[in-house]
Amino acid sequence: MKRFVAALTATLLLWAQPAQAQSILRDAETETMFAEMSGPLITAAGLSPRDVKVVLINDDSINAFVAGGQTVYVHSGLLQAADNANEVQGVIAHELGHIADGHVVLSDRGTKPAMGMYLLSMVLGLAAMAAGSGEAGAGIMAAGQQAAMGNYLAFSRTQESTADASGAKYLREANVTGRGMLSFFKKLQQQEYRFGTANIDPFMQSHPLSGERVSALTADLQASPAWANKPDAALEERFRRVKAKLAGYVLPAPRTLQSYPPSDQSIYAHYARAYAYHKSGYPDKADAEADALVKAKPDDPYFLEIKGQILLEAGRPVESLVPLREATEG
């Protein structure tokens, strides 16, 4: 039974991972972005923006999940994989589907029947073994475990498909284009191609294959009046900044510098390199990047904040007070 519980738990982790197992990244700019991009979707889902939170998790895998309550957890790897803010909105819309449809609360409807099947196979298998049919008993238990897992996974795939449909509905009602949801699923589909879909058993997955999701969603998303809407320029700008800053914080410095080389003099590149240089032990370069940010936008509280943070962590607390004070007073 322990083996089955462990296997069942592993499938649950794909969309209901415990936040305690991973570190939460707190950043005011990122949290503001999440609130802006999710607010209309939360309202469309019939929920309250005061109650629903979107939280960033330090994990480089491409994933998002809900784990009870009304909190959506987004992995840092998902932000790095997304090409634009609208793709992240598509993922959040899907996760809101899990919340609004009560999927975490109703998960027992999938686990209890599966566990019942498994326990029955255990009883029958042990009885066969006691009667002297060892191989038959082992076969019964193995078949029972496989059937139980298949039963649960079918339940999970149904929930995922339902959350997809709900997410598409929320995008439509919030007047947000579904292009991002579709393009992100296509991105996941490319990953499946890379690992070889021919070797993937669709009936042993907790989610429908991405190609199936794309096929199921395309017509509805394209039929929405919001399909032709242009991306929110202000939200896209905030996303590009957050993605760059996040790269500096969580990615290995060489990878950050590969994506944002010194030849790139954009705001985003300065943002990414500032903390990447700082954590790599290049204080002069880190200061130069932070100064470039503040020079470009002297009143930007987030640029002042990162300048002050770098100074503080570099053991220069007195110097850090000025930008940090300006950041909080601005």
DSSP 252-285: -HHHHHHHS-TT--SHHHHHHHHHHHHHTT-HHH
Torsion of CA 74, 80, 86, 87, to 10 degrees: -80
With H, G, I as helix, E, B as strand and everything else as coil, classify residue 82. coil
Alpha-carbon separation of residue 168 from 40, 217, 305 (angstroms): 13, 8, 37
Pairing of strands 71-75, 53-57: parallel
Average pLDDT over the chain, rounded to an integer: 83
> Distance between CA atoms of 221 and 232, rounded to whole angstroms?
18
Point out the least confidently predicted range of 3-17, 24-38, 255-269: 3-17
CATH T-level topology, domain 13-105+153-223 = Zincin-like (3.30.2010)
Point out the least confidently predicted range of 149-153, 187-191, 320-324: 149-153
**Cβ-contact 226, 175 below 8 angstroms:** yes
- Amino acid at site 108: D
Residues 6+ apart with CB under 8 A from 194: none
For residues 2-14, average pLDDT: 35
Largest CA distance in the chain: 82
Percentages helix, strand, coil for the chain, rounded to the nearest 5? 70, 5, 25
Pick the CATH number of 251-329 from 1.20.1290.10, 1.25.40.10, 1.20.1260.10, 3.40.50.720: 1.25.40.10
In total, the chain counts a number of residues equal to 330
For residues 24-52, average pLDDT: 96
Residues 6+ apart with CB under 8 A from 99: 45, 47, 52, 66, 70, 72
User: pLDDT by residue (tens digit) across 234-291?
Assistant: 999 999 999 999 999 999 999 999 999 999 999 999 999 999 999 999 999 999 999 9
User: pLDDT by residue (tens digit) across 53-75?
Assistant: 999 999 999 999 988 789 999 99
Closest residue by Cα to residue 66 from 39, 45, 37, 96 = 96
Is pLDDT at 213 greater than 50 in this prediction?
yes
